[in-house]
Amino acid sequence: MKIKLDENLPASLVGMLTQFGHDVDSVPAEDLSGRDDPTVWSAAQSAQRFLITQDLDFSDIRRFTPGTHSGILLVRLRSPGRLALATRVESIFRTESVDTWIGCFVLATDSKVRIRRA
């Protein structure tokens, strides 16, 4: 899977997801840190990358309708520290069929993963 990590996620996820066989880039690596959401979204979509973020601006499924994009994983934890985020994303990528999420809107909380498909 081709993935783009938003700047609000730990950089350690790049290496971990790469070890799982994914093609990963990040907002900071592309010098997009601090850029507005439309710029980040455009970069992710032009590269056909699945966006992983904590940014609630990407939570509106009417705007980000499943099937109209490369996919979004929105991670929402009660205590979203760097270690908690890295641990939760790693757990998701170890236990879920993430390769089937292309074009989906996925919400991950501390205990659940909800998938909206086209």
pLDDT per residue as tens digits for the range 31-80? 999 999 999 999 999 999 999 999 999 999 999 999 999 999 999 999 99
- Tell me what pLDDT residue 53 has: 98
CATH number of the CATH domain containing 36: 3.40.50
Instruction: Tell me how many domains the chain contains.
Output: 1
- Tell me what pLDDT residue 46 has: 97
Burial of 35 (0-12, 13-18, 19+ CB in 10 A): middle
d(CA 29, CA 33): 8
| Mean of pLDDT over the chain | 97
Question: Please, what is the Cα angle at 103 between 100 and 64, to 5 degrees?
Answer: 145
Q: Which domain covers residue 87, as residue numbers?
A: 2-116
* Segment 68-108, tens digit of pLDDT: 999 999 999 999 999 999 999 999 999 999 999 999 999 99
